[in-house]
Amino acid sequence: MAAPRSLLSLALALLLSAGCSQPGAPTPAAATDAAPPASSPEVVVYTARKYQLVEDLFAEYTQTTGTPVRAVTDDAGPLIQRLRTEGANTPADLFITVDAGDLWFAADQGLLAPLDNATLTANIPANLRDPANRWFGLAVRARTIAYSTTAYTPERFASEVKGYADLAGPAWKGKLCLRSSKHVYNRSLVAALIARYGEPRTEEIVRGWIANLATEPFSSDTLLLEAIIAGQCAVGIVNHYYLGRMIADQGAVPVAIRWPDQDGAGAHVNISGAGLTTHAKNRDAAVRLLEWLSTAEVQARFAAANQEYPANPQAQPTDIVRGFGDFLRDPIAVAEVGRLQPTAAKLMDRLGWR
Ligand code: FE
């Protein structure tokens, strides 16, 4: 997949790496370090981020640095269980997930090691990493409101819905669609609302959402968007990149994003991120890979693979994502969202969100 590259193109990439790159363009990697040894120990990555979203970057890293990268893919739950069972014998050096809640939980279980690293702390904003530096955000996703542009003009929708709480109002009875409460994305969203409003107010909002459901909660954000397109629901709550991926695959679809709470706390954002495991065997090589993933040039492509926002503010998202417009993000530390996950899960259970 990676193009053949010469010393000249590598030098060019190093020169250009400080600026913005064209997302998705196959440019050679700019390593963060001086020339590494021709053969380094293998870095083993346990990843809950889909393999097809990381395989090209890992292959490129191997080609550029000589360090083999082996990925083991599964959901975060089984991977965390595996890390616990393997203990000091784990082959895993890095753990990648798609939600701060899972990283918070892994760190809480003692599975991730603090990493005092100037490159990572310079490249990744403080609210997108663990305060103890046991994990670092690598891509940012917004959990936002999506609505049918067949049913609503942007002007009308904007006048009726300013934020998440508005979807709890009686005007939306039988029109709202949600994903299952079992999924970590919704637990994180509710955790963010608890941090913002406290439990009693969040409970009111969630109770209103459940009363407004058009149908049973969906098992995926993509199914939810398809239900909006089909007219089964007028509005739903999804991660922005599912719409981005749909537009990348199909062109325009009759769904638009309404960024929530833009005159208040902002839209809930979460991360896909990574941490060094406590029992990493190839610690130095794993840290070099993590540093490389945090650089602006690589960040643009890491995010573009899934229509996300790069965590490194020096990198730009794709044209499709830029087309969603600028928005205010909830500045809460995603670690706090992780910490409140168990409280959120209990609240959702209590109210009967399936
Ligand atoms: Fe996802």
Please write the tens of the pLDDT for every residue from 121-147: 999 999 999 999 999 999 999 999 999
- My answer on whether 297 and 339 are in the same domain is no
Same domain, 99 and 237: no
CA–centroid distance, 313 to ligand 1, in Å, is 21
Do 336 and 214 lie in a common domain? yes
Do 289 and 43 meet the contact criterion of CB atoms below 8 Å apart?
Answer: yes
At 267-316, the pLDDT tens digits run: 999 999 999 999 999 999 999 999 999 999 999 999 999 999 999 999 99
Distance 239 CA to ligand 1 centre (A): 7
Q: What are phi and psi of 129, to 5 degrees?
A: -140, 165
Split at pLDDT 50, 70, 90, the class of 39 is low
Mean pLDDT to the nearest integer, 251-270: 97
Q: What is the pLDDT of residue 41?
A: 86
219 within domain boundaries? yes
Report the domain count for the chain: 2
Identify which of 148, 121, 146, 150 has the alpha carbon closest to the alpha carbon of residue 136.
121
Asked if 232 and 274 sit in the same domain, the reply is no
Q: How far apart are CA 345 and CA 63, in angstroms?
A: 43
Domain match, 132 and 145 both: no
The token duo for 189 is 């969203």
Residue 216, in any domain of the structure: yes
Sequence length of the chain is: 354
Paired tokens of 56: 């090209």
Q: Which residue's entry shows tokens 């899934």?
A: 306
In the reported structure, the alpha carbon of residue 99 is separated from the centroid of ligand 1 by a whole-number distance in angstroms of 9
187 and 130 together in one domain: no
Any domain includes 189? yes
Q: For residue 11, is it within any domain?
A: no
Give the pLDDT mean for 93-106. Answer: 96
Mean pLDDT of 327-335: 96
Q: Is 200 helix (H, G, I), strand (E, B) or coil?
A: helix
**Domain-embedded: residue 297:** yes
Shared domain for 63 and 154, answered yes or no, is: no
Task: Tell me the C-alpha distance between 280 and 43, whole Å.
Answer: 9
pLDDT digits (tens, 9 = 90+) for 187-222: 999 999 999 999 999 999 999 999 999 999 999 999
Same domain, 209 and 338: yes
CB atoms near residue 51 (< 10 Å):
12
CATH number at residue 81: 3.40.190.10
Are 28 and 64 within 8 A, CB to CB? yes
Residue 207 structural domain = 141-268+325-350
In the reported structure, the alpha carbon of residue 104 is separated from the centroid of ligand 1 by a whole-number distance in angstroms of 17
Classify residue 333 as exposed, middle or buried by CB count within 10 Å of its CB (0-12, 13-18, 19+).
middle
Q: Among 343, 341, 332, which residue's Cα sits nearest to residue 131? A: 332
- Residue 99 and residue 34 share a domain: yes
